[in-house]
Amino acid sequence: MEKYERIRVVGRGAFGIVHLCLRKADQKLVILKQIPVEQMSKDERLAAQNECQVLKLLSHPNIIEYYENFLEDKALMIAMEYAPGGTLAEFIHKRCNSLLDEDTILHFFVQILLALHHVHTKQILHRDLKTQNILLDKHRMIVKIGDFGISKILSSKSKAYTVVGTPCYISPELCEGKPYNQKSDIWALGCVLYELASLKRAFEAANLPALVLKIMSGTFAPISDRYSPDLRQLILSMLNLDPSKRPPLNEIMAQAICIRPLLNLYTDVGSVKMRRQVVLPCLCALGGAAAAHNVTAVQSRVQLMLLSLWEGARLSSPTLILLHGGAVAQMASLYQAPPMGAAGGPSLPGATEQLQPQFVSRFLEGQSGVTIKHVSCGDLFTACLTDRGIIMTFGSGSNGCLGHGNFTDVSQPKIVEALLGYEMVQVACGASHVLAVSNEREVFAWGRGDNGRLGLGTLECHNSPQQVAVPPEHEAQRVVCGIDSSMILTVKNQILACGSNRCNKLGLDRISSAEEPSPEDQVEEATVFLCAQSAPLNQQPIVCADIGTAHSAAVTASGQCYTFGSNQHGQLGTNSCRNSRVPHLVVGLQAMKVTVVACGDAFTVAIGADGEVCTWGKGARGRLGRKDEETGTPRPVQLEETHPYVVTSVACCHGNTLLAVKRE
């Protein structure tokens, strides 16, 4: 007990005394449950051991957190989280006859729902779910399930036969001596929801036999007509006498009445109010090695043009792709290209037919009301940013790219919970890592870490977001990810970079003139974000930059475009393929003021202030929007003359180019 200071006794239960204590190390209030071991029966000892075992398995924001257990004065002490708002039963009792509004009821209910779902996914039955075991935070807005003393950990498909729990919440099958399973917990959940809506228990009687008869009949007083029919139906479904007809937890979560409070819970708790309007591009930023079949775009009153090869279809000139379905408003609509041949038969080797890529609208299931403002694609995974500053990811979980604390694949967009306390304004995906920026200029990184691409000072991978140490004199405005490197564009229009600097593709070499740097001035790799040190990147304000496979490009405030890195295929904009570590001014673009630049694997695309498009580099298979195979100097791309367009954004992926355009 030397680590704790007792304050007062807050409860006495069948197994012992509950103390409120102060943890001396951090001055945090905690609960210590004191269970006298010597006086305990075998069953009581097992129950105490079980509670520790169960609490160690559970980790959820709506479940009381377990800290540690130890022996003190012949008693088992279990240290756990303190919830200062009291129990839900006390909260209901204080309401007297003042009914709660439906939004408040559902706000509490979905938190209990999520907590119980977490418990069941760990193959655990609570077996004593009741309002007395549901605790509140000091603001009485967050609920936490506690008291797992009689919970049952299931092995394989075993069922619990012991009759336990508070009589008012026990299920009909338990009254009949049938085995207890997850559906019995759902009955208790229905009792809790009924109690929230009526401020009284669903089943009460003067004695136990009368209570059992009442439960077995399944009769209870209806809730007030002020509540929606959906709420009444939800209660009836959970209090069905037939366990097989009670909906499982995932079905309850999918019901329309629960979707909105669930979304509000994930987007409102811990969120920061928007301080300024952030305008994000409607076209996805494609990671340096994003797979062609993983290209994702958000439609927002724009049309897309596809230039280049798409899964076997040779498109040597810009082709208009209409994304049907209207602009994104309340529902986020994502468009994905399935493998060619899915709609029009298999694509044969050497086939010359012009197959049109098929874009299919796919709604984000379970994300009703979410507005997606920006998406970014990596290699087999996607990150979405909502207008509420929430990041959701889905796809392959390899390398921890999804940021969910594991390496598990996710088929539907899932919120990156570690970032819920921040309002994110931009996200960028590399082939196997992610960077994101908050409205407070904080930068977070996760995924594959070799070459130092995460900027965390190590080469380790991370499967959950880690805050990046940005040099204190700089503030992040935008992030860019390549295959094995990353960039930060600062508020003062400077470049910070980390990762592989092969061929000086990040501009980290110390170069003050047009001369090649000496070996001691060359930087091959950086594990933390460093300022670009190659002139003129460190001398002029940079407003746009992008990273390709082996080269990068940057645009200055005056509209000049500089390229740096490998020039093996003329991607730097010079006919000479001689490799140089010195940033190169793309002379062929002097007639236009460049506003946006994008880098592919071995080519570059630039957009001018008037919407003109120029490309250069390796042009095999039409990726440059022209029929010539390769050019080291910029050449214009001719868009369809019959449809006047203005190009607003561009993204490159391996050998593909996407242009976002609007009609004049």
Q: Which residues are catalytic?
A: 128
* Alpha-carbon dihedral sign for residues 158, 162, 163, 164: negative
* CA-closest candidate to residue 196, choices 110, 282, 266: 110
Q: Which helix (H) or strand (E) holds 586?
A: none
Q: Could you give the CA distance from residue 604 to residue 602 in angstroms, rounded to a whole number?
A: 7
Tell me the residue type at 326.
Answer: G
Residue among 496, 491, 492, 516 nearest 508 (CA): 496
Round to whole Å and give the CA distance between 63 and 403. Answer: 22
* DSSP letters spanning 167-230: GGG--HHHHTTPPB-HHHHHHHHHHHHHHHHHSS-SS--SSHHHHHHHHHHT--PPPPTTS-HH
Question: CB-based contacts of 61: which residues, under 8 Å, 6+ apart?
Answer: 142, 144
The CA distance from 526 to 502, in Å, is 11
Q: Which two tokens stand for residue 163?
A: 């009759």
397 close to 408: Cβ distance less than 8 angstroms = yes
Instruction: Copy the structure tokens of residue 552.
Output: 């990068």
Q: How far apart are CA 569 and CA 562, in angstroms?
A: 16
Task: Give the dihedral sign, CA 285/287/289/292.
Answer: negative
Distance CA 604, CA 88 (A): 61
Q: What is the largest CA-CA distance in the chain?
A: 95
Burial class (CB in 10 A: 0-12, 13-18, 19+), 303: middle
Distance CA 536, CA 582 (A): 9
CA distance 573 to 543: 19
> Which token pair is 355?
């197959």
Distance of CA 242 to the CA centre of its chain: 38
SS3 333: strand
CA–CA distance, 421 with 454 (Å, rounded to integer): 21
Rg (CA), the chain: 30
Is residue 415 within 8 Å of 392, Cβ to Cβ?
Answer: yes
28 labeled part of a ligand binding site: no
Place of tokens 């819920």: 420
Residues annotated within the binding site are: 33
Known binding-site positions for ATP: 33
